[in-house]
Amino acid sequence: MRRAAGLILILGVLVAGTIASVLIGTRELPFDATWNAFTSGCAEIWRAVFDLRAPQIDKSTDTAGIVWDLRVPRTVLGLIVGAAIGAAGAITQGHTRNPIADPGILGVNAGAACAVVTGVYVFGISAPLAYMGFGMIGAVIAAAAVFGVSALTGTGPITLVLAGTGLSALLIAITSAIVLTDTASLDTWRFWSVGSTSGRGIEIFWAALPFVVVGLVLAVASGFFLNILSLGDDMTKALGSRVLLIRAIGILAITLLVGAATAACGPIVFLGLVVPHIARAITGPDYRLIVPFSALIGAALLLVCDILGRVIARPGEIQVGVMLAFVGAPFLIAMVRRTKLTSV
């Protein structure tokens, strides 16, 4: 009953947040016109799917243009980014057996950031889609380096954390050296590093979607093996499971999810830390349920924080990365005070 009630509540928040994200923005629009523009566009997309043709959405009015060129891309991007980071946080905590582990602990965020800054400094990239490409490449290289070091010295959770921490420190140092010596790189870094879903077109969503879908499939499929890993590496091997292969699949899933999310929106902190604990309170310790619940909660929480950021600072807005830090930091402090930080 608790799981069913939790799922219904999460889905309700997710649907309400999706609709509110389209209707609410930094610029106030008439509710009726906004709703009509959104529903008529959805109806056109539905008809186009059945007719096997490209949708022809009417954007002749300012309201329709804002809804379909700005708010809808921002909303759907927030959905997949939140789901990606939420699921990545769950499997990161499962693989490291650390309740305060965050996907960034494996160096993926630092790799994406370093690649973006390098792309600006060396190649002069400026388009959001170029940031996406370089960020994804950097995330993959960083994850491969962490897993390579871990595979050479042992595949335990401590080795993963130490390798990721060391690589992150190196990549952050390289990034800092570039931004402190190049003004263009610094300006790009300041905008990108905040973590935001605004200013991204629908092409960013389509570019990130394949990576997120594959990553979510791998993450959900690895839930059973995360339950076995929670018994310890020795017991996992005794049961006939291949620890190295399980960790390789986990690292690949984290890389695809966090790499695509970070490349698309910049580093969004605390979401991957907070969400698995909320999911665990609903589902219990079974990672077969924790991972999909974390994806749903991550999408809902990111949308809610994004909406709050638009409302409380009108006519400007507070970026979602900042809003999530406001939510995540008190949660981390409360968790440290009230629970024993033992292995998951």
Whole-structure pTM value:
0.89
SS3 142: helix
Is the previous residue joined to 315 through a cis bond, with omega within 30 degrees of 0?
yes
Task: Classify residue 338 as exposed, middle or buried by CB count within 10 Å of its CB (0-12, 13-18, 19+).
Answer: exposed
pLDDT digits (tens, 9 = 90+) for 47-90: 998 888 888 888 888 899 999 999 999 999 999 999 999 999 99
pLDDT at 335: 66
Give Cα 101 distance to the centre of its chain: 15
Q: Residues, the chain, total? A: 344
pLDDT at 73: 93
pLDDT at 154: 61
Amino acid at 246: I
Give the DSSP letter of residue 127: S
d(CA 145, CA 108): 10
Give exposure, 225-240, as e/b (b: 16+ Cβ within 10 Å). Answer: bbebbbeebeebeeee
Q: Which residues of the chain have pLDDT under 70?
A: 153-156, 335-336, 338-344
**Alpha-carbon distances of 56 from 68, 204, 207, rounded to whole Å:** 12, 20, 21
d(CA 210, CA 27): 32
d(CA 306, CA 25): 10
pLDDT digits (tens, 9 = 90+) for 119-140: 888 888 877 788 888 888 998 8
| Domains of the chain by start residue, with CATH | 2-338 (1.10.3470.10)
H or E stretch including 118? helix 108-118
pLDDT digits (tens, 9 = 90+) for 303-315: 999 999 988 877 7
Sign of CA dihedral 293, 327, 23, 8: positive
Task: Classify residue 300 as exposed, middle or buried by CB count within 10 Å of its CB (0-12, 13-18, 19+).
Answer: buried
d(CA 324, CA 307): 11
d(CA 57, CA 59): 6
